[in-house]
């Protein structure tokens, strides 16, 4: 645990936004202000990360998938790398309105992508005029760019992981409408009330994003290994939260253990990070 804490600190996850840009709702997660920069309490980061890992592991072991959303440049590489390793869907280019709430239409667009790819692979696309061939190729590239990360997502996910709540508001609203729990990496200018499990931390640093996504995907990998050993019995509906009041219920069940680990973890790294 101490290694993870040190790795997070080295990645600069405790550096927030300038004090002038902060969101007052983030005050419980801010330790101090240094040189006009808000310093995030690393204990709160660890607490949120541990809680998120336990929740995602439980979600995946029950047979559900987790979709990762991070369209900012700093998050793209980490999300694509780590989610591909664990076989989870992701969105890193652009969140199309209705990706979840109008999922049937999205699946139809993915079928169209398969048709266009088939035309290209078989060479039948050359039977069209050059103008039509160019239009079909452009359509294929556009669909591939926007939807390739979720092409294997055949049903709605059991949870969503988001990097930067301010940028991914549309995705968070769709998740809330459908009762899908959300885990969010939130900087000091974000609103933690948008997340079911907030992980306070620097969402502009490529290194800090990489560490957080790596840890979450590690928990997902553990959940998938547990899924493989189960008998395939359907999950008890009482354990599948569907509305926000139910989604928030797990917060009261898990944080105690996570808080105890978080209290002990940063001790070796000092009382608090310094700017």
The CATH number of 2-97+156-269 is which of 3.40.50.10490, 3.10.20.30, 3.40.50.880, 3.40.50.1220? Answer: 3.40.50.10490
pLDDT of the residue at 2: 73
pLDDT at 112 over 50: yes
Pair of tokens at residue 137: 């190729």
pLDDT of the residue at 56: 96
Rounded CA-CA distance 141/216 in Å is 30
Q: Name the pairing type of β-strands 66-69 and 197-200.
A: unpaired
- The HSE-up count of residue 24 (CA atoms within 13 Å, CB side) is 0
Mean predicted confidence (pLDDT) in 165-176: 95
Kindly indicate the confidence band of residue 248, based on its pLDDT and cuts at 50, 70 and 90.
very low
pLDDT of the residue at 19: 82
pLDDT at 103 over 50: yes
Q: What percent of the chain has pLDDT over 70?
A: 83
Mean predicted confidence (pLDDT) in 182-210: 93
Mean predicted confidence (pLDDT) in 183-194: 93
Mean predicted confidence (pLDDT) in 158-179: 95
Report yes or no: 175 and 101 within 8 Å, Cβ to Cβ: no
pLDDT at 169 over 80: yes
Mean predicted confidence (pLDDT) in 135-148: 93
Report yes or no: 84 and 221 within 8 Å, Cβ to Cβ: no
């Amino acid at each position: 645990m101490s290694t993870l804490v040190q790795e997070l600190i080295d990645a600069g996850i405790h550096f927030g936004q300038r004090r002038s840009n902060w969101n007052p709702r983030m005050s419980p997660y801010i330790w101090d202000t240094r040189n006009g920069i808000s310093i995030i309490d690393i204990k709160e980061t660890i607490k949120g990360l541990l809680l998120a890992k336990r929740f995602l592991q439980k979600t995946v072991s029950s047979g559900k998938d987790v979709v990762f959303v991070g369209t900012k440049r700093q998050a793209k590489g980490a999300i694509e790398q780590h989610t591909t390793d664990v076989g989870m869907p992701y969105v890193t280019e652009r969140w199309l309105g209705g990706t979840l709430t109008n999922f049937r239409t999205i699946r139809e667009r993915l079928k169209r992508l398969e048709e266009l790819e088939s035309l290209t692979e078989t060479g039948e696309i050359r039977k069209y005029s050059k103008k039509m061939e160019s239009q079909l190729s452009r359509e294929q590239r556009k669909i591939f760019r926007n939807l390739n990360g979720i092409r294997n997502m055949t049903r709605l996910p059991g949870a969503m992981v988001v990097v930067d709540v301010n940028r991914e508001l549309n995705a968070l609203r769709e998740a809330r409408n459908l009762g899908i729990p959300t885990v969010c990496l939130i900087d000091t200018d974000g609103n933690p009330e948008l997340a079911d499990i907030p992980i306070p931390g620097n969402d502009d640093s490529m290194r800090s994003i990489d560490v957080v996504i790596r840890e979450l995907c590690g928990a997902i990998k553990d959940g998938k290994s547990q899924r493989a050993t189960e008998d395939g019995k359907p999950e008890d509906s009482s354990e599948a939260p569907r509305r926000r009041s139910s989604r928030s219920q797990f917060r009261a069940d898990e944080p105690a253990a996570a808080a105890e680990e978080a209290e002990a973890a940063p001790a070796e790294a000092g009382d608090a990070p310094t700017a």
